[in-house]
C-alpha cells in the first residue's frame, strides 16, 4: 500500500507570485471522501433570505490524472480572480470584507450576544452577494447591529477601516448597486465600480459612441474589460483590466494557472484557445478577445471545458462592462448525447419560428449543446449560480462561428434534491395541476433551459446596419433578450417535434411548464421583493413581462383566468394552445424590437408589464410563502480539489465536499486575496 501525502510540490504547482496554501483546514470536517450517494447533505444552513446548498461532481474518478490536473488548474485560475468581482461590484467592498473577515477570525467578545449573531448574518449575506449590495435586488444590505457595536469590535480587535468605508455600511449613500430606473441617471444612481462615481450616463454613452466604427460588421465589444475614469485633466478615459494595468496582480495569478492548464489540455484546439485567452489577459486587446472566442467556440472535442474572463454585462446599467466569472465543467456524456438532438435540429426551430422571415437566420451555424457537471465556479457565478449558459455574447461571432450552450446538470440535480415542499400545494388550483407539476416539472424545467440556451439565444438576426442591442435598446437590452429566449422555449416546448425527437413523451410536460411559468411570473417570484419594491433584476422583469403581457393579450378569450378561492389568488390556464399562439406573437414582436433596434417599443413593453408590482398580490404572496419557511435564494459551497502526492509525484486529485460556508469564505479570503 503506497503512502499518500497532501504536500503540494513547488516544482509542480508553484505560481508566478503567491501559491495557494494546502486546503486541509477548509475541509477538515469532510476529509473522508464522500461518494455520490443518496444520504449526501444537500443543504447546510439557511439565514436571512438565503439557503446554502452543496453539489456533487459525478464521474470524477472516471477522469484520467491529466484530466484531473486540467480541471484543477482551471479552477485555481478561476479562484485567483475572485477579488476582481468584489472590486467591480463596489469600490469599498474589498476593504470592508477584509476588515470584517479579520473580525470574524479574531473577535474575543461574546459570540452568543445578539449583536454578534446579527453581525454574522450580515457577514454571510455580504459573502453570498460578493459585496455589501444584495446579489439580486442590488439594494444595499442593511445591518441589524449598531455602528457603535461594530466600532467597538473593530477597536478591540485592532482592525482598521477607513471612515468612508465604515460609514457606508450604515448610511444611505450608494444605496443601489445597479439601477435600471430610466427616470434617473443610470450611472449616478448605481454604485457599481465600472465608472468613476461622478461620471454621468451621457458622458459614458458619448465616449463609446465616438469609438464606434460605422458599418463595422465585426465590432469589438467596446468597454467590456475596462473601467471608465475621469483623469486629472478632467477628461474621460478607459483603464483596461490586464496584467500590467488595473487588476494586474490578480490577473498575473490567473495567467500562471492558465499556462499550467494549457500544458495539460486535452487537445491542440483547447491549448490554442487557452493561449489566446492568456494573451488577452496580458494585453486587454478586445480583438484578441474575439479571436479567443472564435477559437473557444470551435474547440468542441474533449471531456473538459470552461468559461473564464469578463463575460456578462447584466451588472452594468449601460450594458458595456462585464463581470469576472468562471465555470469549470465536465461533460455528462449520456445526457449530452440524448439532448444533442436539439442542436442537431437547430435549423428546424429557426425555419419554423413565428418571427418574421426577414429576422430568421438562413443558416444557423455551429451551435453545440452539452449537459455538463460543474467542477468549480468563481466570480459572478458563485455562490448564486446559473443553471444554463450560452456563449459567446457577440452577435456577429454567434452568427458566423456559432455558439456553445450548456446545462449544468449537477447544479440542477442539487436544486432538485434540496427543493422545499409546500409551494406547489399552496399555489396550484386543481389536483390535476398539482399532480402534473409533481410528475413533470423536473423534465419540463430542463427542457425549458435547453431550449432557452440552445435555440433561444442562437435564433434571430439583426437588420443590416442596426447597432448592437446595448447601443439600441440600452438598459432594456438584457431584459428583452432573456424574454426573447424564454419565449422561444415556451413556444417550442408545445411543438409536436419534441415528441417526434423523443425529448418528451407527453404534452403534459409542456402543460406543466406553462403552468409553472405563469405561476412564477405573476406570483411566486414576488417573494423575492420587499414590500413597495419594483422589479429591476432583468430575469425577474422578463418573466413578469412575458406572463403579464400574455395574461393581458388573452383576456378576451379568457386564456389565463384569475381565480379566487378561500381568499387566495390563482392564475389558471384555460387554453394551452391559444397561450402558445400568444407566446408566438410575443416572440415575433420582441424579435422585431431587437432586429430593428426599436428602443421606444422595447421600453414601453418593459415598463408596462415588467416593472410595476400589484401591491395586493405581492402582500398575499409574502403572507402565503412566509409560513413555508423556505428562503427564496439558493447558493452553493464549492467542492475542494486537493492534490495528493507520493513523494515528489502527483498520484491523484481528490474531491472534498466542505459543509461550512463561513469556513470556505474565510479560506478564500486568505488564499485568493490578491488585490489588497
The 43-47 sheet, strands edge to edge: 43-47, 50-54, 633-637
**End residue of a domain, out of 170, 195, 229:** 170
Domain contains 137: yes
User: b/e per residue, 212-249, with b = 16+ CB within 10 A?
Assistant: eeeeeeebbbbbbbbbbeeeeeeebebebbbbebbbbe
DSSP string, 390-417: EE---HHHHHHH-EEEEEEHHHHHHHHH
C-alpha pair distances (Å), 51 with each of 42, 465, 490: 10, 46, 29
C-alpha pair distances (Å), 47 with each of 43, 115, 120, 404, 661: 12, 15, 10, 36, 11
Domain contains 279: no
Q: Sorting pLDDT into bands at 50, 70 and 90, what band is 188?
A: very high
pLDDT of residue 676: 75
Q: Sorting pLDDT into bands at 50, 70 and 90, what band is 66?
A: very high
**Can you read off the three cell numbers belonging to residue 361?**
437566420
Model confidence pLDDT, tens digit, residues 340-352: 899 999 999 999 9
Domain contains 644: no
* Pairing state between β 388-391 and 649-656: unpaired
- E strands, 294-402, in order: 304-310, 324-331, 367-379, 388-391
Is 159 a residue whose pLDDT tops 90? Answer: yes
pLDDT of residue 38: 62
> Which residue, 533, 536, 525, is CA-closest to 177?
536
Model confidence pLDDT, tens digit, residues 308-325: 999 999 999 999 999 999
111 CB-near residues (< 8 Å, 6+ apart): none
228 CB-near residues (< 8 Å, 6+ apart): 194, 195, 196, 199, 204, 207, 236, 237, 238, 239
Q: Are 653 and 72 in contact (CB under 8 A)?
A: yes
Give burial (CB, 10 Å; 0-12/13-18/19+) of 267.
exposed
By residue range, what is the domain housing residue 565? Answer: 421-632
Q: Are 298 and 405 in contact (CB under 8 A)?
A: no
Domain contains 208: no
C-alpha pair distances (Å), 125 with each of 46, 314, 373, 641: 11, 20, 26, 25
pLDDT of residue 101: 98
β-strand partners of 26? none
pLDDT of residue 505: 95
Domain contains 450: yes
* Pairing state between β 226-230 and 50-54: unpaired
pLDDT of residue 656: 97
> Which residue, 364, 606, 660, is CA-closest to 473?
606
* Number of helices (H), then strands (E), in the chain: 26, 14
Model confidence pLDDT, tens digit, residues 3-14: 333 333 333 333
Largest Cα separation within the chain, whole Å, is 76
Q: Are 57 and 330 in contact (CB under 8 A)?
A: yes
Q: Are 160 and 99 in contact (CB under 8 A)?
A: yes
**End residue of a domain, out of 170, 200, 225:** 170
Grid-cell match 459567446, residue found = 392
CA gap 83, 374 in Å, rounded: 21
Model confidence pLDDT, tens digit, residues 120-129: 999 999 999 9
CA gap 175, 190 in Å, rounded: 8
Grid-cell match 396550484, residue found = 428
Give mean pLDDT, residues 256-275: 98
Domain contains 203: no
C-alpha pair distances (Å), 578 with each of 183, 444, 507, 559, 605: 36, 19, 15, 7, 21
CA gap 560, 76 in Å, rounded: 49
pLDDT of residue 365: 87
Model confidence pLDDT, tens digit, residues 227-263: 999 999 999 999 999 999 999 999 999 999 999 999 9
Model confidence pLDDT, tens digit, residues 413-445: 999 998 877 889 999 999 999 999 999 999 999
Give burial (CB, 10 Å; 0-12/13-18/19+) of 270.
buried
pTM here is: 0.88
Is 269 a residue whose pLDDT tops 90? Answer: yes
pLDDT of residue 602: 98
CA gap 569, 617 in Å, rounded: 8
**End residue of a domain, out of 596, 613, 632:** 632
Model confidence pLDDT, tens digit, residues 190-212: 999 999 999 999 999 999 999 99
**Rounded to the nearest 5°, which phi and psi values hold at 572?**
-115, 130
DSSP letter, residue 5: B
pLDDT of residue 366: 82
> How many structural domains does the chain have?
2
Model confidence pLDDT, tens digit, residues 572-590: 999 999 999 999 999 999 9
pLDDT of residue 185: 97
**Can you read off the three cell numbers belonging to residue 122?**
450580515
Domain contains 303: no
> Which residue, 471, 573, 568, 600, is CA-closest to 519?
573
Does residue 567 come out as left (phi exceeding 0), alpha (psi in the -120 to 50 range) or beta? left
CA gap 331, 371 in Å, rounded: 6
Q: Sorting pLDDT into bands at 50, 70 and 90, what band is 334?
A: confident
Amino acid at each position: 500500500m503506497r503512502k499518500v501525502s497532501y504536500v503540494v510540490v513547488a516544482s509542480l504547482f508553484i505560481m508566478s507570485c503567491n501559491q495557494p496554501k494546502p486546503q486541509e483546514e477548509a475541509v477538515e470536517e469532510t476529509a473522508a471522501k464522500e461518494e455520490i450517494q443518496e444520504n449526501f447533505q444537500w443543504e447546510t444552513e439557511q439565514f436571512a433570505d438565503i439557503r446554502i446548498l452543496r453539489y456533487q461532481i459525478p464521474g470524477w474518478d472516471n477522469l484520467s490524472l491529466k484530466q484531473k490536473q486540467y480541471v484543477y488548474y482551471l479552477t485555481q485560475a478561476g479562484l485567483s480572480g475572485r477579488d476582481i468581482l468584489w472590486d467591480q461590484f463596489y469600490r469599498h467592498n474589498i476593504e470592508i470584507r477584509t476588515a470584517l473577515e479579520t473580525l470574524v477570525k479574531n473577535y474575543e467578545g461574546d459570540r452568543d450576544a445578539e449583536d454578534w449573531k446579527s453581525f454574522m448574518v450580515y457577514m454571510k449575506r455580504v459573502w453570498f452577494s460578493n459585496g455589501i449590495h444584495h446579489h439580486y435586488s442590488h439594494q444595499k444590505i442593511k445591518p441589524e447591529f449598531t455602528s457603535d457595536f461594530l466600532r467597538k469590535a473593530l477597536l478591540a480587535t485592532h482592525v482598521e477601516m477607513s471612515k468612508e468605508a465604515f460609514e457606508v455600511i450604515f448610511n444611505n449613500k450608494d444605496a443601489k448597486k445597479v439601477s435600471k430606473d430610466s427616470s434617473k441617471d443610470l450611472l449616478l444612481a448605481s454604485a457599481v465600480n465600472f465608472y468613476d462615481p461622478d461620471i454621468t450616463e451621457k458622458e459614458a454613452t458619448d465616449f463609446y459612441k465616438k469609438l464606434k466604427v460605422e458599418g463595422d460588421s465585426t465590432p469589438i465589444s467596446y468597454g467590456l474589460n475596462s473601467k471608465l475614469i475621469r483623469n486629472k485633466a478632467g477628461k474621460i478615459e478607459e483603464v483596461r483590466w490586464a496584467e500590467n494595468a488595473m487588476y494586474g496582480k490578480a490577473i498575473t495569478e490567473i495567467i500562471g494557472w492558465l499556462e499550467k492548464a494549457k500544458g495539460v489540455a486535452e487537445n491542440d484546439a483547447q491549448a490554442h484557445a487557452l493561449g489566446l485567452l492568456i494573451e488577452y489577459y496580458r494585453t486587454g486587446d478586445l480583438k484578441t478577445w474575439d479571436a479567443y472566442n472564435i477559437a473557444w467556440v470551435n474547440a468542441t472535442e474533449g471531456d473538459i471545458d470552461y468559461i473564464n474572463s469578463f463575460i456578462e454585462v447584466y451588472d452594468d446599467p449601460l450594458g458595456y462592462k462585464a463581470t469576472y466569472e468562471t465555470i469549470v465543467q465536465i461533460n455528462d456524456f449520456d445526457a449530452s448525447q440524448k439532448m444533442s438532438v436539439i442542436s442537431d435540429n437547430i435549423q428546424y426551430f429557426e425555419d419554423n419560428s413565428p418571427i418574421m422571415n426577414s429576422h430568421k437566420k438562413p443558416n444557423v451555424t455551429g451551435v453545440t449543446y452539452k449537459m455538463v457537471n460543474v467542477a468549480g465556479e468563481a466570480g459572478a457565478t458563485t455562490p448564486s449560480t446559473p443553471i444554463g449558459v450560452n456563449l459567446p455574447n457577440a452577435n456577429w461571432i454567434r452568427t458566423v462561428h456559432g455558439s456553445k450552450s450548456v446545462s449544468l446538470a449537477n447544479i440542477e440535480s442539487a436544486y432538485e434534491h434540496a427543493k422545499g415542499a409546500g409551494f406547489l400545494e399552496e399555489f396550484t388550483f386543481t389536483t390535476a395541476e398539482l399532480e402534473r407539476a409533481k410528475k413533470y416539472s423536473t423534465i419540463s424545467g430542463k427542457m425549458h433551459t435547453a431550449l432557452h440556451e440552445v435555440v433561444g439565444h442562437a435564433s434571430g438576426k439583426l437588420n443590416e446596419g442596426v447597432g448592437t442591442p446595448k447601443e439600441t435598446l440600452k438598459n432594456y437590452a438584457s431584459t428583452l433578450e432573456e424574454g426573447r429566449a424564454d419565449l422561444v422555449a415556451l413556444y417550442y416546448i408545445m411543438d409536436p417535434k419534441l415528441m417526434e425527437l423523443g425529448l418528451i413523451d407527453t404534452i403534459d410536460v409542456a402543460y406543466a411548464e406553462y403552468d409553472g411559468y405563469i405561476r412564477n411570473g405573476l406570483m411566486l417570484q414576488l417573494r423575492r421583493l420587499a414590500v413597495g419594491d419594483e422589479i429591476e433584476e432583468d430575469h425577474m422583469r422578463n418573466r413578469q413581462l412575458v406572463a403579464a403581457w400574455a395574461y393581458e393579450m388573452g383576456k378576451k378569450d379568457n386564456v389565463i383566468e384569475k381565480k379566487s378561492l378561500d381568499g387566495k389568488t390563482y392564475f389558471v390556464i384555460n387554453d394551452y394552445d391559444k397561450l402558445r399562439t400568444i407566446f408566438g406573437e410575443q416572440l415575433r414582436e420582441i424579435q422585431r424590437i431587437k432586429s430593428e433596434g426599436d428602443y421606444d417599443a422595447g421600453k414601453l413593453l418593459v415598463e408596462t408589464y415588467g416593472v410595476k408590482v400589484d401591491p395586493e398580490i405581492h402582500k398575499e404572496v409574502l403572507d402565503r410563502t412566509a409560513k413555508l419557511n423556505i428562503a427564496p435564494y439558493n447558493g452553493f459551497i464549492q467542492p475542494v480539489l486537493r492534490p495528493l502526492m507520493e513523494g515528489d509525484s502527483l498520484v491523484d486529485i481528490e474531491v472534498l465536499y466542505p459543509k461550512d460556508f463561513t469556513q470556505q469564505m474565510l479560506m478564500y479570503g486568505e488564499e485568493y486575496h490578491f488585490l489588497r
